[in-house]
Structure 1
Amino acid sequence: MPKTLHPPWSHAVVQAVCTVLASTDWPGLTNSEIDRLLHAQGIELLDDLGWNKRDRLLMQLMGKQEADRAANCVIRFINDAMAPARHMQDRVRFDALRDALSEVLSLVGLKVNEEGRVAKAPAATTLDEVARLAGRLQNELKRRGVHQQVIHYCEEEILRKSIFHAVFEATKGVAERLRDLSGSTLDGADLVDHCFSTRVSPPVIRINDFRTETQVSEHKGFATMLKGAFGTFRNPPAHAARAAGGWTIAEPDALDLFSLLSYLHRKLDAAIVSRAAGH
């Protein structure tokens, strides 16, 4: 960015930046990484008074920003922390930090670009706008090549970054697709049993020629996988209120689930439907 003075950022924005960069979990910077970056800017390190990483970094950056009457020190810290050379061995960490920082920076009309530099971007004023402008979930799903059917059933929830509801709707989408293929009105495990039962040959839906022992085994395993997805990721959210502290899922686990659902949809793309279901 041009070497001009940037107006100071609010305490809330700087705190959000520090929450990302000094997260105690991956992909946050370590204490030694933070100290080196601060030292490079000539910011005097604080004595260890029991502060956690985030609060210590926040105090130092806010102090420097107040002294300079400009946010340049925060921008420089981000630029230095995101220098591509620092992330040569861990591109995933770079992408995670970049996406998370861009969400925060969208509130001041900025982002972290592909070069790891703070750059201009459309400004957001609401949390919904932050989610839409950052597009972190969308970008990650695109990077993973997630099946379009997964996104189709939970596109609004992904845009709003509602992981809880996105997982629920995406898993429900697989059941809806099974009903579309089979004509059945059943749901859950009953639907899977009806579509993939081996008691009749050929099954209503089969994912292969269903001739050899290996093919039959694969078919049964696929049905078990479907039941597992429904039991683990659809049924609990349906009976738990997120706001009440019920069933929750972390974003990395949700992304792995979307990959699993993508696999299930790809197998259904090539599935063979033998006949319409009777119920």
Structure 2
Amino acid sequence: MDDVLKHTLDQHRLSQLTHFSPEQIQLLMDASELGTGALASALLPLAKDKAQASISNFAVGAIAIGGSGHWYLGANVEFVGMPLPLSVHAEQAAIGHAALFDEQYIERVVVSATPCGHCRQFMQELNQDDLLLAWPEHHFMLNEILPHAFGPTDLQQTYGLLNNPTANLTASTQSAAQHKPDTLTLAAWDQANASYAPYSHNRAGVALLLNDGQICQGLYLENAAFNPSLGPLQLALSQLYLQGYTPADIKRAVLVEADAQVQQAAYAALLLGSLCDTALETLVVKSEA
């Protein structure tokens, strides 16, 4: 990393940030005299250092640059003892990070390694015609490296991953009686309402209460090709690692999901149980479909 950039990050206490505001990005550009692409590449190590690549030993960092001017970091996460499809790719983590901040549009995704086919398919769900992808010494539009793509429009979806309508999920009488909606449950409920599940209608959200009182959240992000879908717990865990915590810091974990043909609870409980002793609390609510 450039010495001037590193000094500016340290001076303004930005080194530990995982999300940069437009003002902070402008500050870094002014100090380093780097343009958007060069600055994003220079900041990639901040994301890459958060990777949890204990299986592949291949750390990847990514930055999603939103249309709002905010930049969102992401890194790959792998889970020892769990099936590989539960892994989180860096591009998924960065775009999921943006979704948690209600970002509506991604201008470009900058990544430290060539985006795999899984990630290209995941990014196709943004349903954008002009997504730029950049990695060392390369930059392409998504439609150039994923020609003849299958995506939401093939399944008659007019919106994409980040601009889907918010749901208004309601609890059944039985579930409400079994699970009082406290603050953590309501946080997971909000994420379920904001989640993207146009194919299964399994709106789902997770909230993790940490020992210091912080809350990490995740929401379900579905894909037209199904397999690149990102579960709410995986996204919440990617946020956990990104912010410098570990599963040992989880005090409580709540999943709220809609009653649908697809369900998150079983795999989410299995994954969480492989990482810590905290049990997953689950609330199933009425589907909007």
TM-score by length of 1: 0.29
The TM-score with structure 2 as length reference comes to 0.28
More helix by share: 1
Mark the structure with the bigger radius of gyration: 1
